[in-house]
Amino acid sequence: MSEFKPTYAAIPLRALGDDRLSRADLVTLGAVAAHDRFAKNRTGCFASYRRLIEMTRLSEPALKRSIGRLEECGYLRLEANPMDRRRRILFVVYNDDDAATMRGDGRSFVKGARLRLAPDPAEIGISADTESDAPRPVENARPDVEIGITADTETGEIGITPEKFAQQDQGPALGNIFSERDKRLREARFGREGKADDDPPGASRTAAHAVAEAGLWKEADANVSPAEQVALLRAVHGDARPSEALREFQAALQAKGRVA
């Protein structure tokens, strides 16, 4: 099935309101316009009078009168056929008055009138009705929110501030940087698995027990100074007798004001 192609008679719009034209004139103009628009290469209407009479159902004198009146009113233009001087080629005349009729203002483009293709600059923008849908400016955002890398869901602040870095640095490290020390502390506190019965009297386990009995393990688990660590490690390793290690450890804690 072939594609449908519309066939129409493109009558100039200004002709619809022209009181000089009769019904026969409009019918003749439509027949010529159809041939003019759909002729090969759109080179005008080459239809003979017989063909136009068949389409308009007018007599030959009536058809000739309508063609003459349309030419006089400026709707048709006749030119000699270069192939046959006895025949004429009919052209429909379209001008700017058709656009003025379409607008309905009676003005012509030729007289300097132009269509209002775009609204005035004052009409372009955000009105009061749409202002609530516009993105909120940065200065209207929450003042307590700081923009940064990550979000802190507990405080409602976004990002990491220098104060947070300082607070994080004060706490204990997430990783175990004293793994060997902690291992020996656990061995001294809870005993080494499978070796508790083999430790001789006065060894590290006994020294650690002396420290534990004094109730100082809580102090030892906190951040201790290098002097405290040395004293505690001496007690754990059994480098000194229990009483001497305990006295060193107590003296170190007293120096920091932890034990009265």
Is 138 part of any domain? no
Contacts of 30 (CB under 8 A, 6+ apart): 9, 11
Domain total for the chain? Answer: 2
The rounded distance, in Å, linking the Cα atoms of 109 and 92 is 20
Contacts of 21 (CB under 8 A, 6+ apart): 15, 29, 69, 70, 73, 75
Confidence of residue 59 (pLDDT cuts 50, 70, 90): very high
The rounded distance, in Å, linking the Cα atoms of 25 and 74 is 12
User: By the 8 A CB rule, do 230 and 181 touch?
Assistant: no
For the chain, give the percent of residues with pLDDT over 70: 39
Range list of β-strands (E), 120-237: 151-152, 157-158
Is 195 part of any domain? yes
Each residue of 216-250: pLDDT tens digit? 554 444 555 556 655 666 665 555 555 666 677 67
Give the domain-ending residue among 77, 94, 111.
94
pLDDT surpassing 60 at residue 137: no
Is 58 part of any domain? yes
Residue 188: which of 164, 159, 210, 160 has the closest Cα?
Answer: 210
Each residue of 31-53: pLDDT tens digit? 999 888 776 556 788 888 899 99
Is 165 part of any domain? no
User: By the 8 A CB rule, do 60 and 69 touch?
Assistant: no
User: In this predicted model, which residue has the larger pLDDT, 216 or 54?
Assistant: 54
Is 80 part of any domain? yes
pLDDT surpassing 90 at residue 63: yes
Give the domain-ending residue among 55, 78, 94.
94
The per-residue pLDDT of the chain, averaged, comes to 68
pLDDT surpassing 70 at residue 193: no
Confidence of residue 80 (pLDDT cuts 50, 70, 90): confident
Averaged over 107-111, what is the pLDDT?
48
Give the CA-trace dihedral at 217, 219, 225, 229, to 10 degrees.
Answer: 0
Confidence of residue 103 (pLDDT cuts 50, 70, 90): confident
pLDDT surpassing 60 at residue 157: no
Q: What are the CA-CA distances from residue 141 to residues 101, 102, 127, 136 (Å)? A: 55, 52, 22, 7
pLDDT at 9: 85
pLDDT at 58: 95
User: By the 8 A CB rule, do 216 and 253 touch?
Assistant: yes
Is 243 part of any domain? yes
Q: Exposed, middle or buried by CB within 10 Å (0-12, 13-18, 19+), for 245? A: buried
What are the CB-based long-range contacts (under 8 Å, 24+) for 223-226?
223/172, 225/252, 225/256
Averaged over 54-81, what is the pLDDT?
93
Is 74 part of any domain? yes
pLDDT surpassing 80 at residue 145: no
Token pair listed for 19:
């009181």
Confidence of residue 188 (pLDDT cuts 50, 70, 90): low
pLDDT at 203: 44
Token pair listed for 44:
């005008």
Q: What are the CA-CA distances from residue 133 to residues 124, 129, 136 (Å)? A: 16, 8, 9
User: By the 8 A CB rule, do 49 and 35 touch?
Assistant: no
pLDDT surpassing 50 at residue 196: no
Averaged over 71-76, what is the pLDDT?
94
Confidence of residue 3 (pLDDT cuts 50, 70, 90): confident
Is 126 part of any domain? no
Residue 235: which of 222, 249, 225 has the closest Cα?
Answer: 249
pLDDT at 47: 84
Give the domain-ending residue among 47, 63, 94.
94
Which residue segment(s) compose the domain that 59 sits in? 13-94
Q: What are phi and psi of 76, to 5 degrees?
A: -130, 150
User: By the 8 A CB rule, do 188 and 246 touch?
Assistant: no
Tell me, what CATH number does 20's domain have? Answer: 1.10.10.10
pLDDT surpassing 90 at residue 27: yes
